[in-house]
Structure 1
Amino acid sequence: MSVKSNSKTEQRAKQSGKTKISLGQKISDTLKRRILNWEYPPNTLLVEEELSEEFGVSRSPVREALQMLESAGLAERRKNRSFVVKQVRFEEVRDIYEFREAIELYVIERLCVLEQRQAGLKALKVQWLDIQKSHEAGVDPEPAKAALLDQDFHEGLAELLGNKVILNALRSLSERLLFFRTIDFQRDGRIGETCREHLEIIDAIEKGNIEMARRCLLENIDGGLQNVQYGLQVALMRSHS
């Protein structure tokens, strides 16, 4: 049994007419994978000329790719206009997760008292029951795909609230969080935990139980943060060995 692709991120890209991926995007995706796999440790110099030669392209798409990495918080520009892989500071990661918690706690508290929440919750529930069945059958999505599915779940809850300002604020965090979400899902057993936690969150909202919903959401987000912290520590030790 396989998990079907149902990423709202992918759907939004198709709806906006982005059927062709630019060279810059393809290069950016490759460099992102290398950063996620710690092939490029923090402070690794990303040289336009070398990357242009490697990918067999001009400097223009490479420059575009590096700017994408900068926007995603994965690279930073130096004064001489060169780029390096950004040094990950756990304090910054924690701050992002705390901001995310503040937004999402408000979302689920409001959903618990909204009568029109049931239809949207049913769709999310069906999706995560399917993912759970696949997990129990021994088939899990790759970490990068699991990260997108997790992103879509949390954005989906905010979408049900109907507050565009809150939804846009959460989406603005998504690109920065995707790097850390992928690290989270690199831990064995995480997809099974996430299925249970997501379904418990939905169950609590369906019952209108605010305290239970808060507790389940915090377990889900805080557990992810702990996985990220451990993953970063292991990766850093590996990169210096």
Structure 2
Amino acid sequence: MTGRAADAILDALIARIVSGQLPPGDPLAEQALAEQFGVSRTPVREALHRLEHANLAVRGARRAFVVRGMKPEELCELFEAVGEVESALASLAAHRMSEIERCTLQAILEEGEACGEDPKAYGEVNARFHKTINDGAHNKVLAATLEELNTRTLPWREVNFTQDHRRLGSSRTEHREITEAIVVRNAEKTRCLMRSHVASSYSVAARILARRSS
């Protein structure tokens, strides 16, 4: 129960931070948040630690958490790193995925195309789509590197679908192209398409950050 409560609190705080409802420097007080969410301080504390790990919160005066400001150049560098690592994994996946893994990827693609305009539902399918490709690369070192980067960028990638509904359509198109390249084992095309896919996510995130900062 504590883990699920922490997940819900984390999701809510991320949405508020990325949308600008909680601007940089705003306090994230454990007791106040516990009362707001109707829970004990334990899941709030867990959510705040995870928020800090995602670089969305930082320790302020007296070690209390506050919302961390994200600079445009930091966001750019993070997404650039994700694009390079994830495109390398995608390229390997085009070579190494088994037929079962390729069929699984195609099934997930169809799920994403059938889930309508629900950003939350699509976000969940999107996460599974990327995980299936990353697992299909069969390289634990690169996968671990990407997981660390995703901790810091995934909130921005997921908010793409709630802040810009046009991103649902373009993401589906990009997923289809990536899947087609993987199915025919075109590693170099897959690499380029995945790098472009991450860059598209960055473009939306950068616009969201700019709006939040204005």
For Structure 1 versus Structure 2, the TM-score category normalised by the shorter chain is 0.7 to 0.9
Separation (CA, whole Å) in 1 of partners of 2:165 and 2:38: 37
Mapping 1:13-52, distance limit 5 Å: 21=3, 23-52=5-34
CA offsets per residue over residues 147-187 of structure 1, 9 Å max, x none? Answer: 34323222211201222222222222232222111232221
TM-score, normalisation: structure 1: 0.77
Separation (CA, whole Å) in 1 of partners of 2:95 and 2:40: 55
Per the TM alignment, residue 207 of structure 1 is displaced from its structure 2 partner at its CA by 1.7
Per the TM alignment, residue 32 of structure 1 is displaced from its structure 2 partner at its CA by 2.7
Matched residue, 2:110? 129
Alignment counterpart, residue 168 of structure 2, candidates 191, 207, 229: 191
Which structure's relative contact order is higher, taking Cα pairs within 8 Å and 6+ residues apart? 2
CA contact 2:2–2:43 (8 Å) conserved in 1: no
Separation (CA, whole Å) in 2 of partners of 1:147 and 1:133: 13
TM-score, normalisation: structure 2: 0.85
Equivalent pairs, count:
213
Q: Give me the identity figure in percent.
A: 29
**Structure 2 gap ranges (5+):** none
Mapping 1:220-235, distance limit 5 Å: 220-235=197-212
Is the counterpart of residue 54 in structure 1 residue 36 in structure 2? yes
CA offsets per residue over residues 24-67 of structure 1, 9 Å max, x none? Answer: 44433432332233211121122334334434555554433322
Is the counterpart of residue 213 in structure 1 residue 195 in structure 2? no
Q: 1:206 to 1:61 in 2, by over 3 A?
A: closer
Separation (CA, whole Å) in 2 of partners of 1:203 and 1:25: 34
Separation (CA, whole Å) in 1 of partners of 2:35 and 2:92: 53
Per the TM alignment, residue 196 of structure 1 is displaced from its structure 2 partner at its CA by 1.3
Q: 1:236 to 1:204 in 2, by over 3 A?
A: same
For the pair shown, the structure with the greater C-alpha radius of gyration is: 1
Is the counterpart of residue 150 in structure 1 residue 126 in structure 2? yes
Higher percent of residues as helix: 2
Separation (CA, whole Å) in 2 of partners of 1:225 and 1:212: 20
**Structure 1 gap ranges (5+):** 1-18
